[in-house]
Structure 1
Amino acid sequence: MSEENLRAAADAVLARLTGDTTGTARLRTDQWRAVEALVVERRRALVVQRTGWGKSAVYFVATALLRERGEGPTVIVSPLLALMRNQVEAAERAGVRARTINSANTEEWDTVHAEVAAGEVDVLLVSPERLNNPDFRDQVLPKLAATTGLLVVDEAHCISDWGHDFRPDYRRLRTMLAELPPGVPVLATTATANARVTADVAEQLGTGGTGTDALVLRGPLERESLSLGVLRLPDAAHRLAWLDGHLHELPGSGIVYTLTVSAAEEVAAFLRQRGHTVASYTGRTENADREAAEADLLGNRVKALVATSALGMGFDKPDLGFVVHLGSPSSPIAYYQQVGRAGRGVEHAEVLLLPGPEDEAIWRYFSSLAFPPEEQVRRTLDVLASADRPLSLPALEPLVELRRSRLEMMLKVLDVDGAVRRVRGGWVSTGEPWSYDAERYAWVARQRETEQRAMKEYAATSGCRMEFLRRQLDDTEAAPCGRCDNCAGPRFGTDVDPAALEAARGELGRPGVEVEPRRMWPTGLPAIGLDLKGRVPPGEQAAPGRALGRLSDIGWGNRLRPLLEQPSQDGPVPDDVAAAVVSVLADWARGPGGWASGEEGAPARPVGVVTIGSRTRPQLIRSLGERIAAVGRIPLLGTVEYADEASDTRVPRSNSAQRLRALHGALTVSEPLAEAVAAAGGPVLLVDDVTETGWTLAVAARLLRRAGAQGVMPLVLAVRG
């Protein structure tokens, strides 16, 4: 086929994809250059272009042309379910048959594999996590690599640990790239890669000895439709009240981003109470509910989704009219990616950032999940090397001091580096030598800190905001946009309606979070000498408890964080906090299942207070226990202390098994306390400052129940997380 005929065929596919019936649809110059490189030259290409530029058009047009030439199916590695659903719909418009393999459709995997083998699928979308599933990696992936006609790596910045959204599973692509037969084209696409990330991804695309450098097509990142602004408001209540009063003024429907799951749920609940049609969308949202929320936003049946970054890359709603952030992401590059959801198919979209005082504390928490120190990595490698069988994550947890999410991330990196391998039943050591690249990890950590400073500078700058973001992405064509609040003047004031402010304060000031008790011991405790397994006996369990708030909340979290996060000064419980705890107790007593509810089977009224000892905040916890006892007119029975040779400061903030290992034998119930709780003749309130894993409360409750307490009802100031 001549170049002219091929270009005409490509534009015809584009017309089907876009629904153009006028015959005027034509690929942009760089779009055609990418298609030509893939279809004619069989090259590897990296396309770094702004959101809405049409990167998906490149791979769907290339797929259609390659399939017409008899090539195998296109394999697209795509990171998010929302993105996959958008891509499947787009493929159908282009006349391309697309199927997916991801965590939400496991029951369809066998059927999809059979359809691929029969040549009935033009595009197979897989999540990066599938690439290291043992069965998929060993049985399906080699066949795909041998038969694929085009490999597409969407959101390719995830390959690079220099990037803002590094995902270890993406590094598995190195193996697939190396195993592709000669002449199989590869396309990587992203809208959020600075110069360093672009160079890193382009270098990795060269894997496989093709002898040809990857073609890099990088364009300007201006978004002419976006009007950026920042609103500084005094506190979380003012931010909620502002959103309540101005949400209806924002064009069309949009997204309200929050930094945490609890904040998303909190904000969505408040806005619904105030009469707005919104839904929450987070990593905790069930898949069916996510799909329904996406459909409602696409169909403009909701004004906004209140979402975490779970609704991020690739979600395609061309007429999305606004993006509001309640809290700053930790990276201006991540921020550019998220606001890029708006204004793709409309002339004007509003983008507003409402930073909060809790932002930096949340950044610090997520920074704590970075790659572990060498000592912990070596410990994990030694454990795997000495094991006589594969070890699952639950089996590894008792043996290494890492939380599960961090442990899994580390193992994936080690897998890519060849030091470990995931097999059926867990993880094994390969015995291959491995070096800890301390310099690189330290550089990445410094880069994260640089990005956080840049995000604060974005919020404070008096210059053009779009130019600032484009420069963060090393866009050499960055220039003043003429539209942002600094270029053209603010479009929104900081005024809030007094009634909305009062309602917001009431919502954020409403105390009380349920604390679920631990009912099952972690797996693998016998391996570290603890004869605990299965279900915690009912007679040794704590009852469901209460907390004043979560540290990640934008309401009580903002009040409690300075009181409870290190470094903080110990002292008596503040009056407002004590009063709020009393309110939690009152609601607990009168609420469903409460001891004052009158319901059949409700627990008896607490007859005493027991505190948990602390080396860091003894005055705070002791005074809280005293205040509760005085208000409830019940005795303060005593304290569950740490043994002289133990220190609660040495109990690791690690996984459940390691925390239990440290707690075992560390907490003690004195003989006088045991006699007091046994004689009390009813349940006791167990008071502490913070709970994270729930195991300190569980161990203390077990000791008290064994000492004769008829029930243990935990009451803490805050839940961490």
Structure 2
Amino acid sequence: MATPVPDNTVPTDAPGGALRERAEVHLRALAGDSARLREDQWTAIHALVAERRRALVVQRTGWGKSAVYFVATALRRAEGAGPTVIVSPLLALMRNQIAAAERAGIHARTINSSNTTDWEAAYTDVAAGRVDVLLVSPERLNNPEFRDRVLPELAAGAGLVVIDEAHCVSDWGHDFRPDYRRIRSLLHDLPDGVPVLATTATANERVTHDVAEQLRAGGEREDTLVLRGPLERESLRLAVARLPDSTARLSWLAEHLPKIQGSGIVYTLTVSAAQETARFLTEQGMDVRPYTGQTDPDERREAEDDLLANRVKALVATSALGMGFDKPDLGFVVHLGAPQSPISYYQQVGRAGRGVQRAEVVLLPGREDTQIWEYFAGLSFPPEQTVRQTLEVLADADRPLSPAHLETRVDLRRTRLEQMLKVLDVDGAVRRVRGGWEATGRPWSYDAERYEAVSRAREREQRAMLDYIDLGTCRMEFLRRQLDDPEAVPCGRCDVCTGEYWPTDVDSTRREAAAEHLDRPGTPIAPRRQWPTGMSTLGVDLSGKIKEELRAGEGRALGRLTDIGWGNELRRVLAADAPDAPVDERVVQGVVRVLASWGWERRPVGVVVMPSLTRPGMITDLASRLARLGRLTPVGALEYGTGQGPGPRRHNSAMRLEQVYSALAAGEELAGRMAELQERTPGPVLLVDDFVDTGWSLTVGAALLRRAGAPEVLPLTLATTGS
């Protein structure tokens, strides 16, 4: 049905009758001969097709929100309208939607970061009327070429615009995404008469109101039609199992997942936890795959296909699989660690049980969950002074500045900087152009009251999640009330309602296997190979590739701060209020095991200590003990040129490098000892520090030691940051 066929035999403003009959025909083509429209589905379709309205549908996962826009698309195309444009957040969702559309005879194409070679052909097909549905990612909306060349024509000719996972539009929502705010501009510029549909399964009253207001996009448009239904999921069996530690939780998974019918998802809070859990379950004979934002796109697609086809028992995933994965017979969702919002938890568990009578939903909370929440809370909108500084830098620049160049002037990590720029872009204060970002010169105000209110809302959600864990009443009713579902009642199925709780005893053999797995130390530290862009702006003459003769070798850390094994111990040892004291023997033996399993080409011959203003005693003691145990020569320590060291820690690469480059030094005594060592016993040296974050301290330290005669420098730390 790619070419529109005018159909004027039935008036589309009829409240039922022929229009509904044709809608039912299209629904059956999409969902099967037994499918019938729900009343709210029909209300939405009629509003879009007959009344050209803007509508927000808030309904549970599996209710049939996609059927609304595919049926509306078929009806609009039959009238001769242009293609439907769907803004969709995840590639998994796009692939599922394209497959569903094709089943109904609707030709769909997608424009996203993974198919750049297909973009021109897609644009040509749209212009020729051969495309019924075009799916685009929200990030495309502010791609300069797409925004300026393609979007205006596409919006002008659209027959229907759909915003999927619309809670992402609102910064009150649990999964706010700045790119989604660009949609407001898209909606504002749409010609009158182009209907708009927004859909989500997870929006409380505040988010619903916010999204509905944004759908109006100003002006004198009619109020958004809001269709909100009950969020009950009769198939879900909610439960919480409190286990004492990570070892018990891993062994619980290995023991109980094989007993649960079907295949499903094990969610973790961090990338490292997903990878580690997947490795352990694989070792225990289970067919699972890791799935994170760092997984190769082809591997992610293969993993999705394997789960859809039940070729694996589970995907061990981060929130990268939180939206858009459509598998009606998903048999279980288990969380290894609690999300920081009951609303996001409901959204994730809603993946399960859409096409089966019973699906198990189990939460295994951990003591470290709140610490991980605190880490992600540090990614909130920056303070006003930082934002103003960014605007001033862009205003004073004589050309657009890339994020890399901005990092030399604004102390924000790349991810947080880019998030801030996207918000400022939507607010009209900056604009993304070829070559980077530029200031628009438009007035802009820092809405401190709103940002603070959003922060308080996040804190309330976290407290509510802790309440859910210790709940003494119905779990489903609690989640529905968090989403302001007026029909929330006790479900009669969760562990609290039935009194049937998952056992928390674990098999001793499995527990030993889990303990052994988690106790394995060692995480690679990849060496920096390129100096940051624009260092000359900071008065540092470094650019391009780091010379091979100055580069550090691949290092090792005992573990990540986010690990579910060593992470708990390392977070305690390296806490801001922890004393500067020697680490205990278990930690030392863990580092020794890291050294024993390193697999280096040449064994180290010496140990050098990084200087520290906060933990000098800990690092010096650790290096000394390693030297004795490994029979390595203590070479000495690098030093700071001043008593203040590099100063307050900077957060991005450029500014942190400028700090350590100007502060670190290899004294004459250290250089003399290095020369003596290399003359007597040539070989690599270990460079010992407490933890690695940006990696620039170790990079500069390694360059100084290479200049002092070390043929190779191998960084060794207790911890590395990261997800």
TM superposition score category, shorter chain reference:
over 0.9
SS for the counterpart of 2:659 is helix
CA 1:431–1:645 in structure 2 vs 1: closer, same or farther (change >3 Å)? farther
Corresponding letter in the other structure for 1:16: A
Which of 18, 28, 32 is matched with 1:19 structurally?
A: 32
- How far does the alpha carbon of each residue in 1:65-91 deviate from its partner, in whole angstroms, 9 at most, with x for none? 010111110000000000111111111
Structure-1 residue corresponding to 2:4: none
Determine the C-alpha separation between the residues in 2 that align with 1:273 and 1:649.
46
Determine the C-alpha separation between the residues in 2 that align with 1:413 and 1:149.
28
Which of 649, 657, 661 is matched with 2:658 structurally?
A: 661
TM-score (norm 1): 0.97
Corresponding letter in the other structure for 1:683: P
Structure-2 residue corresponding to 1:464: 474
Given that 2:341 and 2:464 are in contact with CA atoms closer than 8 Å, whether structure 1 keeps it comes out as: yes
1:673 matched to 2:670:
yes
Structure-1 residue corresponding to 2:539: 529
Q: CA deviation at 1:304?
A: 0.4
Determine the C-alpha separation between the residues in 2 that align with 1:709 and 1:275.
45
Q: CA deviation at 1:491?
A: 4.4
Corresponding letter in the other structure for 1:257: Y
SS for the counterpart of 2:608 is strand
1:7 matched to 2:20:
yes
Which of 181, 189, 203 is matched with 1:179 structurally?
A: 189
Structure 2 counterparts to residues 326-475 of structure 1, below 5 A: 326-475=336-485
Structure-2 residue corresponding to 1:539: 549
Structure 2 counterparts to residues 205-244 of structure 1, below 5 A: 205-244=215-254
Structure-1 residue corresponding to 2:706: 705
Determine the C-alpha separation between the residues in 1 that align with 2:444 and 2:18.
52
Corresponding letter in the other structure for 1:181: P
Q: CA deviation at 1:648?
A: 4.7
Q: CA deviation at 1:508?
A: 0.5
Determine the C-alpha separation between the residues in 2 that align with 1:463 and 1:612.
53
Determine the C-alpha separation between the residues in 1 that align with 2:665 and 2:185.
53
Determine the C-alpha separation between the residues in 1 that align with 2:194 and 2:173.
26
SS for the counterpart of 2:232 is coil
Corresponding letter in the other structure for 1:661: E
- How far does the alpha carbon of each residue in 1:99-132 deviate from its partner, in whole angstroms, 9 at most, with x for none? 0000010010000000000000000000000000
1:152 matched to 2:162:
yes
Deviates more, 1:685-694 or 1:612-621: 612-621
Given that 1:78 and 1:154 are in contact with CA atoms closer than 8 Å, whether structure 2 keeps it comes out as: yes
Given that 2:639 and 2:665 are in contact with CA atoms closer than 8 Å, whether structure 1 keeps it comes out as: yes
Determine the C-alpha separation between the residues in 2 that align with 1:393 and 1:544.
27
Which of 512, 524, 548 is matched with 2:558 structurally?
A: 548
Given that 1:677 and 1:684 are in contact with CA atoms closer than 8 Å, whether structure 2 keeps it comes out as: no
Given that 1:101 and 1:124 are in contact with CA atoms closer than 8 Å, whether structure 2 keeps it comes out as: yes
Determine the C-alpha separation between the residues in 2 that align with 1:715 and 1:29.
63
Aligned residues: 705
Structure-2 residue corresponding to 1:275: 285
Structure 2 counterparts to residues 618-633 of structure 1, below 5 A: 618-633=616-631
Determine the C-alpha separation between the residues in 1 that align with 2:76 and 2:173.
31
Determine the C-alpha separation between the residues in 1 that align with 2:646 and 2:582.
20
Determine the C-alpha separation between the residues in 2 that align with 1:558 and 1:337.
28
Corresponding letter in the other structure for 1:11: E
Given that 1:232 and 1:494 are in contact with CA atoms closer than 8 Å, whether structure 2 keeps it comes out as: yes
Structure-2 residue corresponding to 1:96: 106
Given that 2:26 and 2:104 are in contact with CA atoms closer than 8 Å, whether structure 1 keeps it comes out as: yes
Structure-2 residue corresponding to 1:598: none
Given that 2:646 and 2:662 are in contact with CA atoms closer than 8 Å, whether structure 1 keeps it comes out as: no
Structure-1 residue corresponding to 2:641: 643
Q: CA deviation at 1:687?
A: 0.3
- RMSD over aligned Cα atoms: 1.0
Structure-1 residue corresponding to 2:314: 304
Corresponding letter in the other structure for 1:219: G
SS for the counterpart of 1:328 is coil
SS for the counterpart of 1:238 is helix
Given that 2:332 and 2:360 are in contact with CA atoms closer than 8 Å, whether structure 1 keeps it comes out as: yes
Corresponding letter in the other structure for 1:664: Y
Q: Identity percentage over the alignment?
A: 65
Q: CA deviation at 1:565?
A: 2.3
Structure-1 residue corresponding to 2:199: 189
Which of 566, 582, 585 is matched with 1:575 structurally?
A: 585
Corresponding letter in the other structure for 1:224: E
Q: CA deviation at 1:495?
A: 1.6
> Where in structure 1 are there 5+ consecutive unaligned residues?
595-601
> Where in structure 2 are there 5+ consecutive unaligned residues?
1-9
Determine the C-alpha separation between the residues in 2 that align with 1:680 and 1:377.
50
Determine the C-alpha separation between the residues in 1 that align with 2:390 and 2:192.
38
Corresponding letter in the other structure for 1:691: V
Given that 2:262 and 2:332 are in contact with CA atoms closer than 8 Å, whether structure 1 keeps it comes out as: yes
Structure-2 residue corresponding to 1:599: none
SS for the counterpart of 1:705 is helix
Structure-2 residue corresponding to 1:694: 695
Determine the C-alpha separation between the residues in 2 that align with 1:430 and 1:93.
46
Q: CA deviation at 1:206?
A: 0.8
Determine the C-alpha separation between the residues in 2 that align with 1:68 and 1:163.
36
Corresponding letter in the other structure for 2:615: R
SS for the counterpart of 2:716 is strand
Q: CA deviation at 1:16?
A: 1.1
Given that 1:179 and 1:208 are in contact with CA atoms closer than 8 Å, whether structure 2 keeps it comes out as: no
Determine the C-alpha separation between the residues in 1 that align with 2:427 and 2:478.
36
Determine the C-alpha separation between the residues in 2 that align with 1:340 and 1:210.
37
Corresponding letter in the other structure for 1:713: L
Determine the C-alpha separation between the residues in 2 that align with 1:147 and 1:275.
54
TM-score (norm 2): 0.96
Determine the C-alpha separation between the residues in 1 that align with 2:216 and 2:583.
60
Q: CA deviation at 1:607?
A: 1.7
- How far does the alpha carbon of each residue in 1:109-157 deviate from its partner, in whole angstroms, 9 at most, with x for none? 0000000000000000000000000000001000011000000000000
